[in-house]
Structure 1
Amino acid sequence: MSIETILPVDRQSVSAQSESKQEPQWMSELRLKGLELAGALELPKLEKTRLDRWSLDGYGGYKHTDLIKTYNELPEAAKELLNEENSANLLVQINSNVAYSDVKAELAAQGVLFLELASALQQHGDLIKSYFMQAVKQDESRISALHSAIWNGGIFIYVPKNVKVELPLQALFLSNDAQATFAPHILIVAEANSSVSFVDNWISTEEGQRVANGVIEVFVKQGAKVRYASVHSLSEQVTDLTYRRAVVENDGRMEWIVGELNSGNVLSDTTSILKGGGSSSDAKVICVGTNDQKMNLTTRAIHFGRSTNSDMITRAVMRDKSTAIINGVTKIEKGATGANGQQTEKVLMLSPHARGDANPILLIDEDDVKCGHAASVGQVNPEQIHYLMSRGIAKSEAQRLIIYGFLAPVVAELPIEKLAAKLQELVERKLGQ
């Protein structure tokens, strides 16, 4: 007996969105195919997590946000995270579309593209078609299929061969209308021997249950380097479903820095596919769980090329009745000789009612490799607290210092100083310190 899947969007609304934006026929067809697949596919089966018990219906509909001409016109929630003096090369998406853009002419002079994905689709359709939904496949699950049908706004970054982008590119994704679809798609293509850093923030305001369904696809060509830093601090009523995927070719390097500071339920999947020989990836992830939120975080490196290297560090701090399932997966495919994969997962428990599971997983189909893992779940060390208190530091301040030191290996990697300071502020706010 089959059970009919009731989707949060219908064919008519998907077609209307594509038509209103005058998308090319191939994108219209891709959207409709995604909706069809969403009706047939199941939700992802996650370790110790029942997605079918989460609130996954609040997708809303496409709502256009008028363009904002000056920085001062941005919503206060956006300006709190940003710095006008360092706001060069910034895009801001509000709900379903990019509403603010400040991109310097120097980028265009280098041949770099940095614009809303919806606009890039009009101007560079053939280029987008070559990469869109190629790292994260439409048919992976109901979530990815639905994203391909309803995605909106988003960012496209293209860095030509041999071009080094010195300053980080920035984006802010703001959801402040529970009735508006919030499903950004970020697509980055770094050609051979190029380099770029990209930083984004995801925030929400206003009341109302809703779903954020985001996909990030990064293509790192031969000898290129991409650093992607992302901080999510969506509210308790937002369910965050985010897939990050990078395909790395010969001698390319991918760096992920992820801060999961959401207050609602979170599915976070960050994966590097080391396709080429000599390619490498480094992923650093932190999360803080509070109240009764549920989080499932997976960091993954899949080695196909020879002499590939991956390193993964995940740190989680859990309090109240929160739950986190932390999965680290290193997969060495047959033929990936000389591969080296290392991973560490650590969970710091601040409450006897919280739960944190650290699951290091090694899947090795080749003999000539090096792999290692470490995992721990524990409470704040009382000896460390005692030592700091013996130096005249109050107990609450001692605990704060230990927690921040625990998270420091990730926070210190953020490429923008103001963002690192804001991340620390968000951590302290979540922990009530």
Structure 2
Amino acid sequence: MTDKIESDIQSQLEQFSAFREEPSWMHDRRMEMAELYQELPFPTVEKVNFHRWPMMDQVIDATYGEELVNSQQYQYGHADNGKIVQYGKETIMEQLPQELIDQGVIFTDLFTAMNDYPELVEEHFMNQAVQSDENNLTAYHTAFLNSGVFIYIPKNVEVKQPLEALFIQNSHVKEALNKHVLFVADTNSSVSYVEKLETEGSEKNSAAIIVEVITKPGAKVKFSAVDHLGEQTHAYINRRGYLDRDSSIDWAIGVMNNGNVICDFDSDLMGEGSHSEIKAVAVSTGRQVQGLDTRVTNYGKHSVGHILQHGVILDRATLTFNGIGHIIKGAKGADAQQESRILMLSDFARGDANPILLIEENEVTAGHAASVGRVDPEQMFYLLSRGIEQEDAERLVIRGFLGTVIAAIPVKEIRDELIDMIDKKLTRDDQ
């Protein structure tokens, strides 16, 4: 250990690692990244000036009080579904039907998994999809990691009911939310997973959230997420898929945060015939800044990567969509398509839709579409002419504009909740 880490921070990390009974490989990785993270560059998110945001809080183990007792209200869910609820760094509920346990499905706290399934976790944790030392935020996340989930779907297992995860940031206290979701779908397995991010409290905190979804040959994953972090949270959210031969990930992501956020939503199509569909919707209001880097990289032959991003901006907010389709040399027959569209509902809003295609191979298909504009006046005229009030008509147009992603979420209650969040943001009810 060098003197690059301040002694109090080193002591905090050592104590946290010991309390969680981390295996030696995780302890060593944590301490290595603690020495390194301040020397690494920021991730690249074009046209988003985020470098002065307070995104790397060093408090990861605050003391909880009454708010943890009150968090028991979140222990709900369908009896037939696997579900996990984490409040801040604490896991307050784990539920998995016996049928899935008997088939070898794992859905548990990440630190528990490090001890109970050490080989599985060590093999996949930040070794394939995301590397710890990619940039300062991934390294910081590794060093100050304080909560997470591990999911494993065995070979040939079909999980018929969606697995559900609810993650609540405890901003009643000063504590960073550094959460890691490690998701491994083994050969020819299939599963749907729904994830919700929320904030309680008004303390100014950072969040560094990384999700790794690794699909082995023939595996199929439907991944849905609704992000609703608080106004006082500055966040980095990185979700990345690593896809083997003939596997697929369908992403449906609602970016409904109230604070400043940068996001990496990426799929690495490593195997021949792998397939990724990324559908994302975002709403920016107030003065918040949200920047989404959505990338699909085709490495495998005949791999298919599609990006669909729709966003709405109000007030003086900023929303940036960077869509990157990259076909690597050797990926013959690959297909990379993207569409990014933004609706601006204010003269003071700022929107950018930036399509990027990088093609290194012949015999491929690629295309992009991008637009930034206002609500179609013909649609509004049609609705107004039928007696619908201006505000309701605008909301209907926007809901239709965002509907493609909403419809892709497999759980009705989550779809309804996302619609409710959109309506609240559009009417500034939760600002």
User: TM tier, shorter chain?
Assistant: over 0.9
Task: Please give the per-residue CA displacement for 1:271-302, whole angstroms capped at 9, x wherever unaligned.
Answer: 00000000000000000000110111011100
1:427 counterpart residue number:
422
Tell me the CA shift for residue 407 of structure 1.
0.3
Does residue 13 (structure 1) correspond to residue 7 (structure 2)? The answer is no
TM-score, length basis structure 1: 0.93
Query: Does structure 2 conserve the Cα–Cα contact (< 8 Å) formed by 1:169 and 1:197?
Result: yes
| Unaligned ranges ≥5, structure 2 | none
Residue from 91, 103, 109 that aligns with 2:102: 109
Does residue 416 (structure 1) correspond to residue 428 (structure 2)? The answer is no
2:81 counterpart residue number:
88
Query: Does structure 2 conserve the Cα–Cα contact (< 8 Å) formed by 1:220 and 1:246?
Result: yes
1:397 counterpart residue number:
392
Query: Does structure 2 conserve the Cα–Cα contact (< 8 Å) formed by 1:296 and 1:324?
Result: yes
Tell me the CA shift for residue 198 of structure 1.
0.8
Query: Does structure 2 conserve the Cα–Cα contact (< 8 Å) formed by 1:59 and 1:181?
Result: yes
Counterpart of 1:52, as a letter, is: H
Partner SS for 1:284 = strand
Seen in structure 2, the aligned counterparts of structure 1 residues 166 and 321 have a Cα distance that, compared at 3 Å, is: same
Tell me the CA shift for residue 42 of structure 1.
2.0
Partner SS for 2:147 = coil
1:159 counterpart residue number:
153
2:46 counterpart residue number:
47
Q: Which has the larger displacement, 54-63 or 109-118?
A: 54-63
Once residues 323 and 184 of structure 1 are traced to their aligned partners in structure 2, the CA distance between those partners, rounded to angstroms, is 26
Once residues 407 and 207 of structure 2 are traced to their aligned partners in structure 1, the CA distance between those partners, rounded to angstroms, is 27
Query: Does structure 1 conserve the Cα–Cα contact (< 8 Å) formed by 2:193 and 2:222?
Result: yes
Once residues 233 and 91 of structure 1 are traced to their aligned partners in structure 2, the CA distance between those partners, rounded to angstroms, is 18
Q: Which has the larger displacement, 263-272 or 97-106?
A: 97-106
Partner SS for 2:404 = helix
Task: Please give the per-residue CA displacement for 1:60-94, whole angstroms capped at 9, x wherever unaligned.
Answer: 2224769x99xx97455x47xxx644673110111
Does residue 344 (structure 1) correspond to residue 342 (structure 2)? The answer is no
Task: Please give the per-residue CA displacement for 1:330-354, whole angstroms capped at 9, x wherever unaligned.
Answer: 0000000000111100000000100
Partner SS for 2:146 = coil
1:193 counterpart residue number:
188
1:58 counterpart residue number:
57
Q: Summarize the alignment of residues 279-358 of structure 1 with structure 2, pairs less than 5 Å apart.
A: 279-358=274-353
Does residue 228 (structure 1) correspond to residue 227 (structure 2)? The answer is no
1:150 counterpart residue number:
144
1:25 counterpart residue number:
24
Tell me the CA shift for residue 5 of structure 1.
9.5
Partner SS for 1:101 = strand
TM-score, length basis structure 2: 0.94
Residue from 193, 210, 229 that aligns with 1:215: 210
Once residues 45 and 74 of structure 1 are traced to their aligned partners in structure 2, the CA distance between those partners, rounded to angstroms, is 36
Once residues 166 and 116 of structure 1 are traced to their aligned partners in structure 2, the CA distance between those partners, rounded to angstroms, is 22
Counterpart of 1:55, as a letter, is: P
Query: Does structure 1 conserve the Cα–Cα contact (< 8 Å) formed by 2:55 and 2:208?
Result: no
Seen in structure 2, the aligned counterparts of structure 1 residues 232 and 59 have a Cα distance that, compared at 3 Å, is: farther
Between Structure 1 and Structure 2, how many residues are aligned? Answer: 423
Tell me the CA shift for residue 6 of structure 1.
9.1
Tell me the CA shift for residue 114 of structure 1.
0.7
| Unaligned ranges ≥5, structure 1 | none
1:274 counterpart residue number:
269
Task: Please give the per-residue CA displacement for 1:370-417, whole angstroms capped at 9, x wherever unaligned.
Answer: 001000110011111111111221111111100000000000110100
Once residues 59 and 236 of structure 1 are traced to their aligned partners in structure 2, the CA distance between those partners, rounded to angstroms, is 20
2:379 counterpart residue number:
384
Counterpart of 1:11, as a letter, is: Q
1:36 counterpart residue number:
35
Counterpart of 1:95, as a letter, is: G
